Copies of this chain bind each other. A is one copy, B any other.
Amino acid sequence: MSEQYVSTTEKASRGVRQRLAETDQPLFLYGAFLLLIIGFTVANPLFLTAGNLLNILNQTALVTIMAAGVALVIITGEIDLSVGSVLALSGVSAALFMNNFGQNWFLGALVGILVGASVGFINGILTARLLIPSFLVTLGMLSIARGIALIMTGTAPVLVTNATFWSVFAETPFLGIPAPIVWTIVVIIIVWVLLHFSVFGRRIFATGGNLDAAKFSGINTRAVKISVFLISGALAGLAGVIVAARGHAIRPDAAAGIELDVLAAVILGGTSLFGGKGKIYGVILGSLIIGILNNGLVLMGIDPSIQLTIKGALVIIAVAFGRR
C-alpha cells in the first residue's frame, strides 16, 4: 500500500501557519488580549495592579457567567436573547421569596436559580418542540420576563437584607478573591467539563453541527436543546442572585440590554452563530477583552463618546487581526 493512512509524524509536521489558519478565533485572541494589556498598562500603570485586575474580573463576572450558558445555546445553533430579563426576574424572585418566606439565604438563591432554569426550560420547549425560531422565542421572553419582574415589584427595587446571602454571593473573599469571581470560576469549570469532556458536550456540538445528522445518529436533539436553554436560564438566574447580593437590593430593570454584551463575548470568543463550533476558553477571552476595554478606556480618562467609538473599533480590529 503506497499510502500511510494515519501518520503521527505528518500530524506533528503540520505547519504552524496551517494550524493557525485552521484553528478558530481563540488562539489569535491571545494576541489581541496581550496587546490590549500592554497598551493599557503603558497608558496608565494603575491598570496592571492586582486591585484593578480583580476589579476587571469582578466586573466581567456577570457577563462571563451568562456567556458560558449562552455559548452552549449558540453551539446548538440556537440563540438566547432573554438572559438580561431572566437575570432581573430571578434576582427579584429570590429577593421577594426571602422577604416573604423567612429570609433563608439558601432557599432564596435556589428559588432565583430555579426561576431562571424554568424560564430557560420554557424557551427550550418552545424552540425545540414547537419549532418556533429561538430568536423570536427569546426575544418574546425578553419582554415577558422583564414585564413580570416589573409587575411583581411594582417597578420598585426589592431589598435584600440577609447578610449571609450578601456574603455568599457578593462579598466574602475566598483566598482574597471576591465571591462573584469564585462563582465565575466554578461555573466555568462546570461548563468546560460539560462541553469538552462529557458525552453531553458531544451531543451539543453534533446538534449544532448538523441537526439532521445528529438525529440520524440517535441523538435526542430536542432534549439537548431544551437542556442548554435550561442551563442558560439557570446561569442567568445565578447572575441575578449575584446582582441582588451585590446591591443589597435588586431593581426590576436590572441588566437591561446586557444580552448584547453577552452575545459579543460569545461571538468574539470564536463561537459560530451558525452552531457547531465554540470553545469555553474563547468565551472567557471574549468576555475579558470586553471587560478590559471598558476598564482600560475609563482608566485613560477618555470621554465616553470617544470611548464608545474606540471600543467598537477595537472589537472589529481584534477580530480582523486574528483573521490574517
Contacts of A126 in B (CB 8 A): 316, 320
A274 B11 Cβ-Cβ under 8 A: yes
A230 at the interface (CB under 8 A from B): no
- Residues of B near A13 (CB, < 8 A) are 210, 212-213
Contact across chains for A308 and B143 when beta carbons are under 8 A apart = yes
Q: Judge whether A35 is part of the interface by a CB distance below 8 angstroms.
A: no
Are A312 and B140 neighbours in the complex by a CB distance under 8 Å?
Answer: yes
Which chain B residues lie closer than 8 Å to A310 at the CB level?
147
Query: Is the CB–CB distance between B210 and A14 below 8 Å?
Result: yes
Q: Is the CB of B268 within 8 A of A136?
A: yes
CB of A311 closer than 8 Å to a CB of B: yes
Instruction: Tell me if A147 and B312 are in contact (CB < 8 A).
Output: yes
Instruction: Indicate with 1 or 0, residue by residue over A73-98, a CB within 8 angstroms of chain B CB atoms.
Output: 00001010100000000000000000
Q: Is the interface of A mostly helix, strand, loop or mixed?
A: helix
Q: Which of B136, B257, B268, B312 contacts A143 (CB 8 A)?
A: B312
Residue of B nearest to A259 (CB): B260
The residues of B that contact A139 with a CB separation of less than 8 Å are 260, 263-264, 267, 312, 315
Q: Which stretch (A17-25, A42-50, A53-61) binds chain B? A: A17-25
- Are the C-beta atoms of B143 and A311 separated by less than 8 Å? yes
Q: Which of A63-71, A127-135, A171-179 forms part of the interface with chain B? A: A127-135
B323–A141 CB distance below 8 A: no
A15 proximity list for chain B (CB < 8 A): 211-212
**Nearest-CB residue, chain B, relative to A142:** B312
Tell me, rounded to whole Å, the shortest Cβ–Cβ distance linking A64 to chain B: 18
Q: Which residues of B contact A142 (CB under 8 A)?
A: 260, 312
Q: Which residues of chain A in 301-316 are interfacial with respect to chain B, using CB atoms and an 8 Å cutoff?
A: 303-313, 315-316
Q: Mark A207-240, 1 if CB is under 8 A from B, else 0.
A: 0001111000000000000000000000000000
Which A1-37 residues have C-beta < 8 A from chain B?
A: 1, 3, 10-11, 13-18, 21-22
Task: Evaluate whether A316 and B140 lie within 8 angstroms (CB atoms) in the complex, with A130-B323, A146-B308, A267-B133 already known.
Answer: yes
Expressed in whole angstroms, the Cα–Cα distance for A273 and B16 within the complex equals 18
The 8 A-B pairs of least Cβ separation, nearest first, read A143-B312, A147-B309, A147-B308, A150-B305, A144-B312, A140-B316, A140-B312, A140-B315
Cβ contacts A to B, 19 pairs, < 8 Å: A13-B213, A14-B274, A15-B211, A15-B212, A21-B131, A79-B273, A130-B320, A131-B323, A133-B273, A135-B267, A135-B273, A136-B267, A139-B260, A139-B267, A144-B308, A145-B312, A146-B308, A147-B307, A151-B303
Given contacts A10-B276, A133-B267, A139-B263, 13 further A-B contacts (CB under 8 A): A10-B210, A13-B210, A14-B212, A21-B131, A132-B323, A133-B272, A136-B268, A136-B319, A139-B264, A140-B315, A143-B309, A144-B308, A147-B307
